[in-house]
Amino acid sequence: MTGIPEYNRRAFLSAELRLRASGYEVENPWRFGERENWTRQDYMRRDVAELAACDAICLLRRWWRSWGARREYLVARFVFGMRRIR
């Protein structure tokens, strides 16, 4: 999200719509919003807490280029044992 115009809003909302149309309940980190004075670690704590309540993770195209997405994937896969939805 960081460094991408509008924090990659379009891609996040598009993926959310596609997943909802397929019958999934979706927690979209883009919708969690921006907080004043938050660090990258603050956002990761919030995002991982939200991720803990999920059954699977869906990642956007080229997710491996993102510092945060790489860490979220590792936590989802190896800490929570989640599968990845494409």
pTM check: above 0.95: no
CA neighbor of 59 nearest in space, from 4, 12, 23, 17 = 12
Boundaries of every domain in the chain: 5-85
> Tens of pLDDT along the chain (86 residues)?
677 777 789 999 999 999 999 999 999 998 888 899 999 999 999 999 999 999 999 999 999 999 999 999 999 999 999 999 98
Report d(CA 79, CA 81) in Å as an integer: 6
